[in-house]
Amino acid sequence: MPNNVIYFYRATGDFGFLSMLFPAPVEFEGRVFPTGEHAYQYGKFVDKAVAEWAMTAPKPHLIAVLAHNIFAWDIVPGWAAMKVDRMKAVVTAKFQQHGDLLHKLLDTHEALLVENSKMDSFWGLGKKGNGKNMLGRILMDVRKELRLKGEE
Q: What are phi and psi of 30, to 5 degrees?
A: 80, 10
> How confident is the model at residue 150, as a pLDDT?
82
| Nearest-5° Cα angle at 134, 129 to 135 | 100
Instruction: Return the CATH fold of 78-152.
Output: Tetracycline Repressor; domain 2 (1.10.357)
DSSP code for 29 = T
Alpha-carbon distance of 95 to 93, in angstroms, equals 6
Residues of the chain with pLDDT under 50: 1
Q: What are phi and psi of 53, to 5 degrees?
A: -60, -45
Of the candidates 115, 91, 88, 114, the residue with the CA atom closest to the CA atom of residue 102: 91
> How confident is the model at residue 135, as a pLDDT?
98
Q: Parallel, antiparallel, or unpaired for β 5-8 and 112-115?
A: parallel
Of the candidates 9, 23, 16, 12, the residue with the CA atom closest to the CA atom of residue 98: 23
> How confident is the model at residue 131, as a pLDDT?
94
Alpha-carbon distance of 64 to 21, in angstroms, equals 9
Alpha-carbon distance of 132 to 34, in angstroms, equals 27
> How confident is the model at residue 2, as a pLDDT?
57
Three-state DSSP class for residue 113: strand
**CATH 1.10.357.40 residue spans of the chain:** 78-152
Question: Model's pTM, two decimal places?
Answer: 0.94
> How confident is the model at residue 152, as a pLDDT?
58
Q: Parallel, antiparallel, or unpaired for β 31-33 and 26-28?
A: antiparallel
